[in-house]
């Protein structure tokens, strides 16, 4: 870890994917002194790998989404990470959850119809919510709600259609054998990160920008803010003079809730060699999605979102496990009950430096991403997944937004030097 400086050219607030991307780009530029001020005692933010049972578990981001377009895919390969290309079948194999093949086909056709309806609705002048294109009381409405809670961290009625359709999904998803978190730890090596240095105030009224942190004050000529929208909207980090546009944009882009429970699984499951995906229920929005024996590991990863996840977080890991064990024994038989034990779980909503999982836009707030990402004058820049126009809610979207902000800041620095 870097010592605490009092004066720098650049300060980056936050050492998550965006802050690491920004800081590496500044380091490439070579000539500027930089500090990365991070509230936690580790880097990575919402990308974090742990290994309580000897194999890596990603508490946050796990998938290289849009992997064939994701700039982190070639970087991971170059760094020697093992990239697993086995495609997930997240929500397409309903027959494993007690539905018939015909029902599964009906669901897949409905999903395509929903996709087209969303794109049509997004061209209308007024924004609406994803619930607006639902058939009232339809056969699959609960499962659509559950899938929204996994994709957006929020129920359909809370999510802007215009924003949702701007997300670019190539449909290719890969995983890293060593964990996504380990990739960001590697990318952060040698960066000037100061841990446990939460910034509470960005005072940008004077000639230099003054940052108040838990470790004391730092002045910087330019600042890149990469904290989650929840931290700006709740004024955990404040600006003086105030920035009401940023506050409003951050409030329009709240973080949804998604959590994970990791379960150890003893012994084989007949007929299941590796990586199958199960949906706990097709008729309740309060359900989990399960990765069984992911990458052939003796484990089950459980994923759940929205209001259901927020409630389970409050109840704790034992309640998460009891719910998951109930669904899994219904699907896989009673015998599995004796072979499972909880390994670890997350509570991202309760995490003080995340306060949620990833951003979605409220109806009418799709353009808030551009407002949040816009620089203030030529000294204050913004990055983070919520600033990404097309890859929001992802680690690579955050990474790219950090690089974009660093390049914009370097450009202003060059322009100012040329004017002198």
Ligand X SMILES: Cc1cc2nc3c(=O)[nH]c(=O)nc-3n(C[C@H](O)[C@H](O)[C@H](O)COP(=O)(O)OP(=O)(O)OC[C@H]3O[C@@H](n4cnc5c(N)ncnc54)[C@H](O)[C@@H]3O)c2cc1C
Interaction site with ligand X (CB under 6 A): 13-19, 37-40, 45-47, 60-63, 65, 198-199, 226-228, 231, 236-237, 258-260, 346, 348, 353-354, 357-358, 384-385, 393-396, 398
The residue whose Cβ lies closest to ligand X is 16
Least distance CB 226 / ligand X (angstroms)? 5
Q: Which is nearer to ligand X, 46 or 297 (CB)?
A: 46
How many angstroms separate the CA atoms of 129 and 394, rounded?
A: 21
How many angstroms separate the CA atoms of 361 and 181, rounded?
A: 26
Considering only CA atoms, which of 64, 88, 22, 43 is closest in space to residue 384? 22
Least distance CB 237 / ligand X (angstroms)? 4
Is 179 in contact with 49 (CB distance < 8 Å)?
Answer: yes
C-alpha dist (Å) from residue 353 to 15, 48, 226, 299, 308: 11, 13, 12, 28, 21
Is 275 in contact with 293 (CB distance < 8 Å)?
Answer: yes
Is 5 in contact with 386 (CB distance < 8 Å)?
Answer: no
Least distance CB 255 / ligand X (angstroms)? 8
- Length of the chain, please? 420
Q: Which is nearer to ligand X, 259 or 313 (CB)?
A: 259
Considering only CA atoms, which of 6, 15, 402, 12 is closest in space to residue 195? 15
Least distance CB 172 / ligand X (angstroms)? 12
Q: Which is nearer to ligand X, 128 or 256 (CB)?
A: 256
How many angstroms separate the CA atoms of 362 and 157, rounded?
A: 9
What token pair was written down for 125?
């002048």
Q: Which is nearer to ligand X, 19 or 179 (CB)?
A: 19
Q: Which is nearer to ligand X, 99 or 385 (CB)?
A: 385
Q: Which is nearer to ligand X, 84 or 339 (CB)?
A: 84
Q: Which is nearer to ligand X, 13 or 373 (CB)?
A: 13
Q: Which is nearer to ligand X, 37 or 410 (CB)?
A: 37
What token pair was written down for 258?
């998604």
Least distance CB 415 / ligand X (angstroms)? 27
Least distance CB 39 / ligand X (angstroms)? 4
DSSP code string of 171-227: S--EEETT-HHHHHHHHTTT--EESS--EEEEE-SSSSEEEEETTEEEEEEEEEE--
Least distance CB 227 / ligand X (angstroms)? 4
Is 11 in contact with 209 (CB distance < 8 Å)?
Answer: yes
Least distance CB 234 / ligand X (angstroms)? 10
């Amino acid at each position: 870890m870097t010592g605490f400086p009092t004066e720098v050219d650049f300060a980056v607030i936050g050492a998550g994917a965006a802050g690491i991307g920004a800081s590496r780009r500044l380091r490439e530029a070579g000539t500027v002194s930089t500090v990365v001020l991070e509230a936690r005692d580790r880097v990575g933010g919402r990308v974090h790998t742990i290994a309580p049972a000897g194999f890596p578990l990603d508490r946050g981001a796990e998938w290289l989404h849009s992997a064939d377009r994701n700039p982190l895919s070639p970087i991971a390969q170059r760094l020697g990470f093992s990239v697993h290309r086995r495609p997930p079948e997240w929500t397409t194999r309903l027959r494993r959850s007690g539905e018939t093949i015909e029902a599964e086909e009906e669901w897949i056709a409905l999903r395509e119809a929903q996709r087209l309806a969303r794109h049509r609705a997004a061209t209308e002048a007024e924004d609406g919510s994803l619930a607006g294109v639902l058939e009232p009381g339809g056969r699959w409405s609960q499962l659509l709600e559950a899938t929204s809670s996994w994709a957006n961290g929020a129920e359909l009625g809370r999510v802007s259609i215009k924003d949702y359709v701007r997300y670019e999904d190539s449909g290719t998803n890969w995983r890293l054998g060593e964990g996504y978190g380990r990739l960001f730890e590697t990318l952060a090596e040698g960066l000037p990160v100061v841990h446990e240095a939460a910034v509470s105030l960005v005072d940008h009224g004077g000639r230099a920008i003054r940052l108040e942190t838990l470790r004391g004050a730092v002045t910087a000529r330019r600042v890149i803010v990469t904290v989650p929208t929840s931290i700006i909207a709740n004024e955990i980090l404040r600006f003086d003079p105030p920035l009401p546009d940023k506050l409003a944009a951050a409030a329009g882009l709240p973080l949804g809730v998604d959590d994970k429970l990791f379960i150890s699984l003893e012994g084989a499951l007949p007929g299941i060699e590796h990586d199958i995906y199960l949906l706990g229920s097709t008729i309740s929005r309060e359900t989990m999605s399960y990765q069984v024996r992911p990458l052939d590991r003796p484990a089950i990863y459980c994923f759940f979102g929205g209001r259901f996840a927020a409630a389970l977080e409050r109840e704790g890991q034992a309640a998460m496990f009891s719910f998951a064990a109930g669904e899994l024994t219904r699907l896989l038989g009673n015998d599995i009950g004796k072979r499972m034990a909880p390994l670890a779980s997350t509570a991202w909503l309760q995490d003080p430096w995340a306060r949620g999982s990833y951003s979605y836009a409220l109806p009418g707030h799709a353009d808030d991403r551009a407002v949040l990402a816009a620089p203030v004058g030529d000294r204050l820049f913004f990055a983070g997944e919520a600033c990404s126009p097309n890859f929001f809610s992802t680690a690579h979207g955050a990474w790219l937004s950090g690089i974009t902000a660093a390049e914009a800041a370097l450009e202003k620095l060059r322009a100012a030097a040329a004017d002198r």
